Amino acid sequence: MEKVLGYVRVSTETQAEKGYGKEVQESAIQEYCDNNNLSLDAVFRDLGVSGTLLERQGLSGLLTTLSEKDIKTIVVMNTSRLWREDTAKVLIKRELQKMSVNVISIEQKDYNLYSKEPNDFLINGMIELLDQYDRLNINKKLAKGRIQKVKAGIKACGNTPLGYKWKREGVVKPIIVQDKETMRVVQIIFKKYLELKSLLKVQRYLKEENIRTQRGNQFSTMAIKNILNNRFYIGEIKHADLIVKGTHNPIISMVIFGKVQAQLERNKRKGFLN
């Protein structure tokens, strides 16, 4: 029985209402595998994450597992779960093709990652364009409220970064506060990167110390880099090109954050894996 990996992405509650909720996607993937004699080895998830982003923890875990295991097939409900715009599509496709991976799209019966047939290209392209059109309409409705929140120094929506949590009890509106347990992990990652000067070495350290993500997974190098680059940890809110001081308390000092950015840039110039 062939082993496969599943991938689920949900970016908004609206998508859940339209039939792209987490449970719906996972159920569809499991049912497809059961009906087609496939063994679902693992399901990777990005919840509350845009498909235009390349730096996604679930996607990183998926690509890492594909490179480490002898698994050559991904099952998704729709290719829009993997990508949402042309740049992301081209780059993700390139990585999958390098590893000779196939993508099974449950809703796109004839989808072929390697197909060069004009008709297939046109049909799949039209489906993906319609998905992008839906996304544009959703963004139009949400953008105004998000920008207003960011200008007020409030995180617009979604999950909190590692080290923080939503506080809902005893307050009029939910606020973001430090999570004493997980903020220690963030501080360790910054400290160890300055000591070891390498994402791979920090990853090995976290693995040896059995320090894991909030979902209990091992940290990927991309997830570590995302944490090191996240200005939320110095008390700032970023939305597109807009950066303002947040209402939350910082976990990392400006000095440490600046030193980390300088080391990341030095490694980048030298061609290192940071």
The label of the residue with tokens 């990585």 reads 95
User: What's phi and psi for 160, nearest 5 deg?
Assistant: -80, 150
- E strand map for the chain: 2-10, 38-47, 73-76, 102-105, 164-167, 175-178, 236-239, 242-245
* Class at the top of the CATH hierarchy for domain 2-105: alpha beta
Q: How far apart are CA 251 and CA 184, in angstroms?
A: 9
Cα angle 43, 52, 228; round to 5: 80
C-alpha–C-alpha distance, residues 32 and 43, integer Å: 13
Give the pTM: 0.46
> Domain limits of the chain?
2-105, 152-270
- Successive 10-residue mean pLDDT values, the chain, 274 residues: 94 60 92 95 91 87 90 94 81 87 93 73 64 65 52 58 85 82 95 95 95 91 93 82 79 94 89 62
Query: What is residue 91's predicted lDDT score, i.e. its pLDDT?
Result: 80
d(CA 13, CA 171): 23
The rounded distance, in Å, linking the Cα atoms of 248 and 71 is 42
- Going 52 to 57 to 60 to 61, the CA torsion angle's sign is negative
Indicate the length of the chain as a whole number: 274
Fold match flag (2-105 vs 152-270): no
And the tokens for 64? 């890492």
Looking at 1.10.3720.10, 3.30.70.260, 3.90.700.10, 3.90.1750.20, the CATH number of the domain 152-270 comes to 3.90.1750.20
